[in-house]
Structure 1
Amino acid sequence: MKTALITGATSGIGKATAQLLGRQGYRLIICGRRIDVLEELQAGLSPHTEVFSLTFDQRYYAEVEKAITSLPENWREIDILINNAGNAHGLDSLIEGNVEDWDAMMDGNVKGLLYVSKMILPGMKSRNSGHVINISSVAARQTYANGVVYCASKRAVDVISEGMRLELTEFGIKVTNIQPGAVETDFSKVRFKGDETRADTVYQGYEALKAEDIADAISYCINAPKHVTVSDMTIYPSAQSEPRTIHRK
């Protein structure tokens, strides 16, 4: 039975992925910043799913290191790492941007992914086996005005994924970079700092992707035959033609 560690497991894509992989028989290490939400997620998973929860904020390496080194011996062989945790804050020009928002995005989307990977990859390398899924964004493909820092953080995820593949393929480790388009989760609510009215307009007039759609894609990638690696996957809702263009009714 394989073990998958999922960051940002408490909502959106991470939660949907935990639910799907739990039904498929994976052992799960679910990670998030709030123990109460992790406990709620765990309670809602299949009763047959083996689950271990880790609470940490991946923006801080000391927290990541402490949490992952605290894993019991029988949970330390991690076969699949799903680097899902990330965030978007604000939709402002560089001139008007909030430095705290920039730090949150770069620390969470880039440094956090690196911190978690640094802790997990040595074990995979020593076993000559493993699979890393990095959740990027179509924002990495085309920079848009007022989202420069977010786009830069996701472009960094693409570059890190490519670098991982170059360094790890010879050790039997697969690396998959997934770029979702518009997915209806709490993403926009976080970006607009809780303004639900503004967040809702992002998904009006068309059918956005659902978190479950991305979970299905992740499942496909990790369940592919051993000789198959999906290196990059871009997923749009059918109404979206490129990162900046959505055709609304």
Structure 2
Amino acid sequence: MSLTLAQRTQLRKRAAQEAALTAPTALMDGLSNYELMLAKLQQDQLRLQQVQSTQHKALVKAELLGEYKPYIDGVLSAGRGAQDDVVTTVMLWRFDAGDWTGGLDVAVYVLQHGLKMPNRFNRTTGCLVAEEVAEAALKAQKAGESFPIDVMVRTADLTEKQDMPDEVRAKLKLALGRGNLEGLDATNPGQLGQLQTGIDLLKRAIELHDHCGGKKDLERAERLLKKLAGPTG
């Protein structure tokens, strides 16, 4: 569904109007633009089912996401929190495509209004948001790559009051702890308090889940802290 600029603008405006008129506890079902986008979503999901490669699926999702942007922008600008499977699915697709900022922009709306994920998901929305970001961050860190710490911080803030298994919250704390400690050593102690913040996050991760995998990171960080503190007494 390739749209002109004028069509995209109209879709955004109509989506905003429909979302603004739909009560928070209602469903978007029966509204013309929602039904249009839902039908498109179902077609695109069928297309994705034909793709076996996870990496290729992420590329296809990245390609498709622009076609949903006018609708998403409209809902986010004026929506009152009606249940919307297009919005929740696009949030997840943005994560899958590596658009973490875009995904979190949708997550703000989704979590604020308590939108539920489609029935095929067995995780709560808050749990899904936290775990998607945490697992991507841990995977990048394991590969020796950086993951945006601002994304992890924003995710932690957004999901702080969301209910989820301790193991999931521990993953996010672990990723954040490692992110704070990344590149720190005796010649690069980081910003004031950065090392201690990393240590505190690792301790919290271990408290939440003893087998989260952060114990060696904590040992290294505490050794570095002692080294930087110098001899005592």
TM > 0.5: no
Q: Which has the higher contact order (CA 8 A, sep 6+)?
A: 1
Considering fraction of residues, name the structure with more helix.
2
Considering fraction of residues, name the structure with more strand.
1
Instruction: Give the TM-score of the pair, scaled to structure 2.
Output: 0.30
